[in-house]
Chains A and B, each alone.
Chain A
């Protein structure tokens, strides 16, 4: 049993049986097929996975941008999936800090960093401009009066982080914050992010392709085909048993254990399972 479902205490984020289906024309596409996930307060988690694995969908649901088709997503006690617009707005301004994919999506490009901070703090309950400025100062951007559009991508991401953190969120959700950055810039951003989040005790959920980025987080959760496949942390790398009892094979075994293979499962000792591939048996 992994840490994901081990605790039931109040968490920064709790996802239970989360399912999301996109309806495109006449076709339904399941992006999430039952996600169970718990993020504790102050914890930093990286969501990894190939394109189409459901990372961004999960993030959009956590941010309240999308409503789940089934299941629950609870942020600090608020069921985001069922929350009314007013409650959602309250969670966004009091609890959530969002960095959507692409710095420009998060910012008013024609404004400078200060104006973006001020814009982000409209209506914020706890934030003040000092935290955002501190983030900017870390990159020496606090006196920069250029419009954001004139800044480099890495500078724009720093501003986006400053904006996301300005409201002193309790949960920071960031989608591919380093995707357009070179290594040095990436590392700098992560340094700032980790430092700020640690200092503020902010739980962090980062979506990334980059193992280097994920490595800076406390937990790394791999999504595959809309499910959590495995999780890695400083205690090791584990497959995750789903709510329906399913367990995904490690990626490196998949070629040898093709889909539809018949497997016998036997518990040889408490906490130990033995899988036997029945080579002559496959589903029709």
Chain B
């Protein structure tokens, strides 16, 4: 063999060189990729949070009111406020204006007969109209032109039942602007569904303009505003030119602040100027996420790095033992200490540096693929930065330090031991004792401090918990194993395996250290896998809570169809489909979700336990048992009244109206009987549309005065009939126990208005009837009685952060709203960490109950059908046959995907390959240690062969010898990883918000654990078997 000595040495022991090369490579790849990964993760979450360029969340908007007929003044003031923003960061300002007041419209060719016209907000296209997503036609650029939304066009077309008289290009409309009727022609139809117009500062409104109407706006030319002398608000918007980069965040925030200051300082010369950008809120929300990601990644990366250094130190130590004679001879020949250490360091140093260079190159080359693999395709990859170089340098420095420490130890071995080639110390050195004691104390300190922590945020000492626990468990296990093995070795061995394996392990504690290393690797892998599973699981639960079901259909229901009944008819089993009504736009109890509680448990993905209630309690509390509904069929309702009269002074009976409200499929209908009097009262024609049956919602009295006066009035209803049902058929109406005093929409907690319900009397003779005594000390209330088929107040389950105002006098009563947004008193039955759709803010109520105490025809929420997992074509067909139109379908998997793209689960998932790399590293190191040490043991094995042991038996012994400590390390590492998981998991920042999630489930995932342990055991067993075969083969070759 020629060449320099170190090169010959490498050729002689390639496994030693290669193992150090690979360990260094893995360490550098891990450390170099970690900051790249973290940076990409943060950049991607920032990009996701801020949306596409020009999209809804990356805008800086200024607004200013303009005077009548002077739209440009508003524009100028708004644009002025934004002039200080960075031109390289923000696009040129675009403008749009919105009329301050709502307008209405009708088609000129077919004027409305009902007198009710659809309202609409008017938007002046400004300079932004050119960027609007036009489906047909063009932007209006002259007075008399309008661009309408697709939804408006489609709605109008539906109303005309498919005729050609709907809204198309060229349709002439009449716009009613303030007091003017303005003829306009449709010149464009824009797409309002994707909300992708350039001018979007508020995702809930089109063109970024808070609308004065729920319907999408009509776009007109600015000149139209001036022509009609409209008061308007002018908006100027600058969108980000590019995807917002992390480095640009401070500048972007400065621009937002500067724009705001410009408004406050009056740079914009006009009053009522304001700026708005969601950017500060987005960045503030991302901050904790990014810190959480750093913490989660740091835990795994730091441990993987420490592990690689430990593995390198062990490998160098093992190499030191193999090469001890060389270094001993150098010492014997008088080489100075420095040169000896240099000589020792040279070969492994070259391996480590070469590995580091290769690792850095590999990290650079594979950064893009690694980022895309871990974070997702298309994730941004930042260019190599000094931080990455520093991280790689740190990994190399650590590796060299580990090398130096192990080399110095080797260089200081007693010469007598070196020359006798017995370098394995049988007792623990003082240094090792100090180090091990230090590790135990540090672990105790870390665990103690961890128990006092609420959250691990950032790179903290607690990050080392999994490693430290594994190290301490390893130290204890090694010491116990040494004692046990040595005690065993003193006994007469029972088998050859006992001699070869037990005694070899007993006399070479370094082999047990390799087991500790494997234990560390598995601890990190177990920990990272469990954390990733829990993180994803939590996000899945959160997604399930935020959507509610596996599939959610957003639907349109014909006015004449009851959503609840239609869905029940479409799915008679009650296991597939559930009706729901959602309003997420309000605040507090204004946000609500009304569900069909009889089907909720079967259909929803929200577990009742998340709501803090059992399935039974959930249903029973939200739907208290009541009487059967009071119903009537017909087209005319008659009330026979007796004993009518005032009960309070100054009451003018002629100002009072007796009212009955009945509930039909299309909502509530009010039957005004007029001034009550003895005799028979008949409903006005057309006011009782109950051919298909109605349920009575309430009966009451209202004052017709503009300035109502207190009143007291009583009457006895002695008979109720319709044109199709006689008095006896509706006799139940007259039973007082069927009725209760109705709170309804009264918000006065003083209980000034009430109705007393009793058995009716008429003069001296007792008559059968329902006696109602109305009194209102305020005079402005609707004093009413309602059947006991529905609870009042309405039971509601609140989100954990729902702000409420108590309603005195009603236990657990709070002031809220009904689905029609009318004021309602609610009874709080509990608070849940996460309500479906609403998470921590809002109220969950029963849909059927809600429809009995509020007008389902005036609801403001949107209708949905929730479906259980699977394909349900029959149910969908049945829904369509009910006239229900599906406008959007949302699948839980889409929401899960979106949620998992948050920084927390991404970081936890990014930890997974790092944990796997750590495990791979330890297995590589364990194999390398075995290979490095095997050459020196061939003579032992040759002796065994010479003694008559068959090669097959020897292979089995070597397999046992190699596999036993690794298996021990795997078991120990699994237990350590689980212990660290149990200690830290509740403190890891895995959730976006504290309360806005279902109760976290921190139980370890069994299947991934079994897969990991079994896979590692199989890998180790396979590697040990192959190694044993190769070792026995090498012995055979050397003997020949």
Could you list which residues of chain A lie within 8 angstroms of chain B, going by C-beta atoms?
60, 63, 65-66, 85-86, 88-94, 96, 98, 100, 105-108, 110-111, 115, 118-120, 122-124, 167
Given that A66-B416, A105-B419 are known contacts, is A98 also in contact with B332, CB under 8 Å in the complex? yes
Q: Compute how far the CA of A91 lies from the CA of B800 in the bound complex, rounded to whole angstroms.
A: 82
Q: Compute how far the CA of A89 lies from the CA of B331 in the bound complex, rounded to whole angstroms.
A: 7
Tell me the smallest distance from the CB of B341 to a CB of chain A, in Å.
12
Is the CB–CB distance between B337 and A122 below 8 Å?
no
Q: Compute how far the CA of A93 lies from the CA of B330 in the bound complex, rounded to whole angstroms.
A: 10
* Sampled A-B contacts (29; CB under 8 Å): A60-B416, A65-B419, A66-B416, A86-B336, A86-B337, A89-B331, A89-B336, A90-B334, A92-B334, A93-B333, A93-B334, A100-B419, A108-B325, A108-B326, A111-B1, A111-B8, A115-B8, A118-B5, A119-B5, A119-B326, A119-B329, A119-B330, A119-B333, A122-B333, A122-B339, A122-B343, A123-B333, A123-B334, A123-B335
- Chain B residue numbers with a CB within 8 Å of A124 are 333-334
- Chain A residue numbers with a CB within 8 Å of B339 are 122-123
In the complex, whether B12 has a CB less than 8 A from a CB of chain A is yes
In the complex, whether B656 has a CB less than 8 A from a CB of chain A is no
Nearest residue, chain B, Cβ from A123? B335
Which residues of B534-568 have CB atoms within 8 Å of chain A's CB atoms? none
- Chain A residue numbers with a CB within 8 Å of B343 are 122
In the complex, whether B212 has a CB less than 8 A from a CB of chain A is no
- Chain A residue numbers with a CB within 8 Å of B330 are 119, 122-123
Tell me the smallest distance from the CB of B165 to a CB of chain A, in Å.
100
Nearest residue, chain B, Cβ from A110? B12
In the complex, whether B279 has a CB less than 8 A from a CB of chain A is no
In the complex, whether B415 has a CB less than 8 A from a CB of chain A is yes
- Chain A residue numbers with a CB within 8 Å of B331 are 89
Residue of A85, A107, A119 ringed by the most chain B CB atoms within 10 A:
A119
Which residues of B1-46 have CB atoms within 8 Å of chain A's CB atoms? 1, 5, 8, 12
- Chain A residue numbers with a CB within 8 Å of B416 are 60, 65-66
Chain B positions 976 through 1014: 1 when the CB is less than 8 Å from some CB of chain A, otherwise 0 = 000000000000000000000000000000000000000
Chain B positions 300 through 334: 1 when the CB is less than 8 Å from some CB of chain A, otherwise 0 = 00000000000000000000000001100111111
Is the CB–CB distance between A93 and B329 below 8 Å?
no
Could you list which residues of chain B lie within 8 angstroms of chain A, going by C-beta atoms?
1, 5, 8, 12, 325-326, 329-337, 339, 343, 415-416, 419
Tell me the smallest distance from the CB of B799 to a CB of chain A, in Å.
74
- Chain A residue numbers with a CB within 8 Å of B337 are 85-86, 89
- Chain B residue numbers with a CB within 8 Å of A60 are 416
Looking at chain B's contact residues, the main secondary structure is: helix
Is the CB–CB distance between A92 and B8 below 8 Å?
no
Q: Compute how far the CA of A130 lies from the CA of B8 in the bound complex, rounded to whole angstroms.
A: 23
Is the CB–CB distance between A89 and B12 below 8 Å?
no
Tell me the smallest distance from the CB of B6 to a CB of chain A, in Å.
12
Q: What 20 additional pairs, Cβ within 8 angstroms, besides A88-B334, A98-B333, A118-B5?
A: A65-B332, A66-B416, A85-B337, A86-B336, A86-B337, A92-B334, A100-B332, A108-B326, A108-B329, A110-B12, A119-B5, A119-B333, A120-B329, A122-B330, A122-B335, A123-B334, A123-B335, A123-B339, A124-B333, A167-B333
Q: Compute how far the CA of A98 lies from the CA of B331 in the bound complex, rounded to whole angstroms.
A: 12
Tell me the smallest distance from the CB of B324 to a CB of chain A, in Å.
12
- Chain B residue numbers with a CB within 8 Å of A106 are 329
Tell me the smallest distance from the CB of A47 to a CB of chain B, in Å.
19
- Chain B residue numbers with a CB within 8 Å of A66 are 416
Is the CB–CB distance between B329 and A94 below 8 Å?
no
Q: Compute how far the CA of A122 lies from the CA of B6 in the bound complex, rounded to whole angstroms.
A: 13
- Chain B residue numbers with a CB within 8 Å of A96 are 334
- Chain B residue numbers with a CB within 8 Å of A86 are 336-337
Tell me the smallest distance from the CB of A159 to a CB of chain B, in Å.
13
Q: In the complex, which of the residues B8, B335, B419 contacts A93, with contact meaning CB atoms closer than 8 Å?
A: B335
Nearest residue, chain A, Cβ from B415? A65
Tell me the smallest distance from the CB of B337 to a CB of chain A, in Å.
6
- Chain B residue numbers with a CB within 8 Å of A122 are 330, 333, 335, 339, 343
Q: In the complex, which of the residues B5, B8, B326, B335 contacts A89, with contact meaning CB atoms closer than 8 Å?
A: B335
Q: Compute how far the CA of A117 lies from the CA of B623 in the bound complex, rounded to whole angstroms.
A: 98
Nearest residue, chain A, Cβ from B337? A85
Q: Compute how far the CA of A37 lies from the CA of B861 in the bound complex, rounded to whole angstroms.
A: 110
Q: Compute how far the CA of A89 lies from the CA of B930 in the bound complex, rounded to whole angstroms.
A: 34
Is the CB–CB distance between A120 and B333 below 8 Å?
yes
Q: Compute how far the CA of A120 lies from the CA of B326 in the bound complex, rounded to whole angstroms.
A: 10
Closest 4 A-B residue pairs measured CB to CB?
Answer: A93-B334, A92-B334, A123-B335, A89-B334
Nearest residue, chain A, Cβ from B412? A85
Is the CB–CB distance between B334 and A94 below 8 Å?
yes
Q: Compute how far the CA of A94 lies from the CA of B419 in the bound complex, rounded to whole angstroms.
A: 21
Tell me the smallest distance from the CB of B377 to a CB of chain A, in Å.
52
- Chain B residue numbers with a CB within 8 Å of A107 are 329
Q: Compute how far the CA of A110 lies from the CA of B329 in the bound complex, rounded to whole angstroms.
A: 14
Tell me the smallest distance from the CB of B345 to a CB of chain A, in Å.
15
Nearest residue, chain B, Cβ from A102? B419
Q: Compute how far the CA of A105 lies from the CA of B12 in the bound complex, rounded to whole angstroms.
A: 19
Is the CB–CB distance between A92 and B333 below 8 Å?
yes
Residue of B332, B336, B343 ringed by the most chain A CB atoms within 10 A:
B332
Q: In the complex, which of the residues A91, A118, A119 contacts B334, with contact meaning CB atoms closer than 8 Å?
A: A91
- Chain A residue numbers with a CB within 8 Å of B5 are 115, 118-119
Q: Compute how far the CA of A91 lies from the CA of B335 in the bound complex, rounded to whole angstroms.
A: 10
Q: Compute how far the CA of A202 lies from the CA of B326 in the bound complex, rounded to whole angstroms.
A: 26
Q: Compute how far the CA of A196 lies from the CA of B799 in the bound complex, rounded to whole angstroms.
A: 99
Nearest residue, chain B, Cβ from A166? B333
- Chain A residue numbers with a CB within 8 Å of B1 are 111
Tell me the smallest distance from the CB of B456 to a CB of chain A, in Å.
47
- Chain B residue numbers with a CB within 8 Å of A110 are 12
Q: Compute how far the CA of A94 lies from the CA of B334 in the bound complex, rounded to whole angstroms.
A: 8
Q: Compute how far the CA of A60 lies from the CA of B420 in the bound complex, rounded to whole angstroms.
A: 13
- Chain B residue numbers with a CB within 8 Å of A120 are 329, 333
Q: Compute how far the CA of A105 lies from the CA of B5 in the bound complex, rounded to whole angstroms.
A: 19
- Chain A residue numbers with a CB within 8 Å of B335 are 89, 93, 122-123
Residue of B5, B325, B334 ringed by the most chain A CB atoms within 10 A:
B334
Q: Compute how far the CA of A91 lies from the CA of B415 in the bound complex, rounded to whole angstroms.
A: 16
Nearest residue, chain B, Cβ from A122? B335
Tell me the smallest distance from the CB of B344 to a CB of chain A, in Å.
13
Tell me the smallest distance from the CB of B644 to a CB of chain A, in Å.
118
Q: Compute how far the CA of A70 lies from the CA of B375 in the bound complex, rounded to whole angstroms.
A: 71
- Chain A residue numbers with a CB within 8 Å of B334 are 88-94, 96, 123-124
Tell me the smallest distance from the CB of A85 to a CB of chain B, in Å.
6
- Chain B residue numbers with a CB within 8 Å of A100 are 332, 419
Tell me the smallest distance from the CB of A24 to a CB of chain B, in Å.
13
Tell me the smallest distance from the CB of B821 to a CB of chain A, in Å.
90
- Chain A residue numbers with a CB within 8 Å of B325 are 108
Tell me the smallest distance from the CB of A18 to a CB of chain B, in Å.
18
- Chain B residue numbers with a CB within 8 Å of A115 are 5, 8
Q: Compute how far the CA of A73 lies from the CA of B12 in the bound complex, rounded to whole angstroms.
A: 40
Tell me the smallest distance from the CB of B328 to a CB of chain A, in Å.
9
Tell me the smallest distance from the CB of A154 to a CB of chain B, in Å.
21
- Chain B residue numbers with a CB within 8 Å of A92 are 332-334
Q: Compute how far the CA of A106 lies from the CA of B419 in the bound complex, rounded to whole angstroms.
A: 9
- Chain A residue numbers with a CB within 8 Å of B326 are 108, 119
- Chain A residue numbers with a CB within 8 Å of B333 are 92-93, 98, 119-120, 122-124, 167
Tell me the smallest distance from the CB of A76 to a CB of chain B, in Å.
14
Tell me the smallest distance from the CB of B793 to a CB of chain A, in Å.
89
Q: Compute how far the CA of A33 lies from the CA of B352 in the bound complex, rounded to whole angstroms.
A: 50
Q: Compute how far the CA of A124 lies from the CA of B335 in the bound complex, rounded to whole angstroms.
A: 8
Q: Compute how far the CA of A122 lies from the CA of B340 in the bound complex, rounded to whole angstroms.
A: 10
Q: Compute how far the CA of A86 lies from the CA of B335 in the bound complex, rounded to whole angstroms.
A: 9
Q: In the complex, which of the residues A65, A108, A123 contacts B336, with contact meaning CB atoms closer than 8 Å?
A: A123
Residue of B8, B12, B333, B335 ringed by the most chain A CB atoms within 10 A:
B333
Q: Compute how far the CA of A66 lies from the CA of B332 in the bound complex, rounded to whole angstroms.
A: 12
Tell me the smallest distance from the CB of A68 to a CB of chain B, in Å.
14
Q: Compute how far the CA of A63 lies from the CA of B325 in the bound complex, rounded to whole angstroms.
A: 17
Q: Compute how far the CA of A249 lies from the CA of B330 in the bound complex, rounded to whole angstroms.
A: 43
Q: Compute how far the CA of A134 lies from the CA of B335 in the bound complex, rounded to whole angstroms.
A: 23
Nearest residue, chain B, Cβ from A100? B419
